Amino acid sequence: MVGAGAVGGFIGGRLVQAGREVDFLVRPGRAAQLRETGLRIVDGESVEKFDVNGLTVETLAGPYDLVLLCVKPESLPAVLDDIAPAVGEGTALVPFLNGMKHVDLVSDRYPEAALGGVVKIVAHLESNGDIRQLLPGGRIDIGELDGAVTERVTAIEKALSIPGFAVTVPLDIVNAMWSKWVMIATIGAVTSLVRGTTGEAAAVVGGSGFTEQVLDEAASIAAAAGHPLSEKDLAEHRGLATAAGLHLTSSLSRELFAGRVTEVENVLGDLIDRARGFGLSVPRLDAAALTLRVHNARTASA
């Protein structure tokens, strides 16, 4: 597991809990923290602690059967160098990053190992290193980038199938990755602009309509790229994003609220750049990206 933040720590912790053999490749400070306090997952007032093996680049040796990449996009180029000892002839490499920009980077560096992956959890990393679970369970999709059904995908599906996680192998993992990108861009844009949750936006006049317009913008980009969302996915995203009683945020807005630099370019910037290439107008996504870019600039200079 490369990274022990909200995604890597949460999934890795649950895999350890289910009896899987997991090593975490982390920075030295995080490795020291894991040795001292263990990996801690917080759910409400409940705290679960797991003793885990935290490795650094200096202590990494391999190869491994499976490498799960759970890092920030700006770290990816360096991480692809760092994991070289872990990637052997039979290694499978699944990135769990937002957007699509990472696909070419990973595939170019490790063409035989690279697969596609989607993870859907709601958790965040707290300042003390704890991982706070905001909603129970999670979902993982994996697949070969060319859509083939292979033995290694079947083996990974079995390895990741643990209590609380739904693991599937979609017919087209690339379409699944685009679908998730549309969802997180929509929720991230809306919650960042309204400085609140999806439920708060949906509860006021014009809120649901605005959210649907943001979704339409994001979905139009996926369609122009040759990966249109199914009616089922569109309906699910619309229902999730516009439910008045469901108070969702995104990693974008949570970082915004916390006063930290956001992942705006990977989630919104790249999507908007693709819209420009297709000649599409996406003013609501533009507004959200501008909001987050100003926040990032202000935060970086503070």
Does residue 137 surpass a pLDDT of 90? no
Nearest to 270 by CA among 260, 287, 285: 285
Q: Which CATH class is domain 6-171?
A: alpha beta
Q: Mean pLDDT highest for which of 126-130, 242-246, 286-290?
A: 286-290
Does residue 136 surpass a pLDDT of 90? no
Determine how β-strand 123-125 pairs with β-strand 92-95.
unpaired
Does residue 66 surpass a pLDDT of 90? yes
Does residue 122 surpass a pLDDT of 90? no
Per-residue model confidence as pLDDT tens digits over 141-196: 999 999 998 999 999 999 999 998 899 999 999 999 999 999 999 999 999 999 99
Query: CA-CA distances (angstroms) from residue 38 to 23, 69, 203, 266?
Result: 13, 20, 41, 31
Give the other-Cβ count within 10 Å of 115's Cβ.
20
What is the CATH T-level fold of the domain 175-301, as seen in this structure? Answer: N-(1-d-carboxylethyl)-l-norvaline Dehydrogenase; domain 2 (1.10.1040)
Domain residue extents for the chain = 6-171, 175-301
Q: Is 101 helix (H, G, I), strand (E, B) or coil?
A: helix
What pLDDT score was predicted for residue 132?
A: 92
What pLDDT score was predicted for residue 235?
A: 97
Q: Quick one: pLDDT band at residue 62, thresholds 50, 70, 90?
A: confident
Does residue 11 surpass a pLDDT of 90? yes
What pLDDT score was predicted for residue 302?
A: 79
